[in-house]
Amino acid sequence: MSWIHAVLRGSLELVCQPCCAICRQAIRSGSEAALCEPCQSRLALPAGGLQGQWPLPWWSLGLYEGALRQLLLRQRTNPQPQMLRSLAGSLRQTLPAELQGNGRIVAIPSWKQRGCNPLPQLICQGLGLPEIQPLQRRRPTLGQHHLNRAMRALNQAEAFRCQASAMGKPPGWRRQPILIVDDILTTGATANAAAVALQDAGFRVAGLLCLARTPAPGRDLRSTSATSVASRDSSVGRAGD
């Protein structure tokens, strides 16, 4: 009977052949990667992703530059849920083991009714972790693309609050580790404001998950060259959304 099982397993692999989330080319059987090797190389994603500690612990797939930047810009206007779920699955693998099995996720909410950024919610759908949403926008905020660090912090100050229903939850429920989810990390203003609102409500914020992190000031965002470990380490303290 073993040969029958082997034939059935081989047939199933042919039918369920995993494909790259970007180019849709087949990925070798048994691979846990969401992307094929050529696409991973083109996006210049570092093995194991990136991580840092300021202004709160964060984990990311790579730097917001080159092919990855162009990919995410396209996703904002024309999101592809399957691709984003696949990227989010890879993003989860950058987390410490204790958070992969125990964390809860909170997407950064938008204050816009129309034209809002769909990526945080789509990323959450692919992370495979329990999702909660105690966060609400307290007020509208400006688009931050042209704002400097100080203006971003002012723009996001007290921009979030927690829903009254979340405040009534048992303290033990709120003490489970919470991971904030956003698409891009630039100066940390948005993530930090969200973390403050959650912490004020008694939640234990463990950090931020994002698909990409903006490079240190002065780097050419169009560059597709891989970043050395030394240059990444030297810019850890300047990351944020």
Percent of the chain at pLDDT > 90 equals 35
- Better pLDDT: 232 or 44: 44
Sorted by where each begins, the domain ranges of the chain are 1-43, 44-238
Q: What residue spans of the chain are helical by DSSP H?
A: 2-15, 37-43, 66-77, 81-92, 97-102, 119-127, 149-156, 164-167, 171-174, 189-200, 229-234
With cut-offs at 50, 70 and 90, classify the pLDDT of residue 204.
very high
With cut-offs at 50, 70 and 90, classify the pLDDT of residue 225.
very low
Q: Does the structure show a pLDDT above 60 at 131?
A: yes
> Do 34 and 21 form a contact (C-beta atoms < 8 A)?
yes
Q: What is the pLDDT of residue 239?
A: 35
Average pLDDT of the segment spanning 38-49: 85
Strands 50-52 and 58-63: antiparallel
Six-digit token string for 15: 């039918």
Q: Dihedral of the CA atoms 173, 175, 180, 186 (nearest 10)?
A: 160
> In this predicted structure, which of 26-35, 120-129, 176-185 has the lowest mean pLDDT?
26-35
The amino acid at 90: S
Q: What is the pLDDT of residue 17?
A: 63
Six-digit token string for 128: 């495979």
Q: Does the structure show a pLDDT above 90 at 178?
A: yes
Say what the pTM is: 0.75
Max CA pair span of the chain: 69
The amino acid at 218: G
Which architecture characterizes domain 44-238 according to CATH? 3-Layer(aba) Sandwich (3.40)
Average pLDDT of the segment spanning 144-149: 72
Match 């400097």 to its residue by tokens.
148
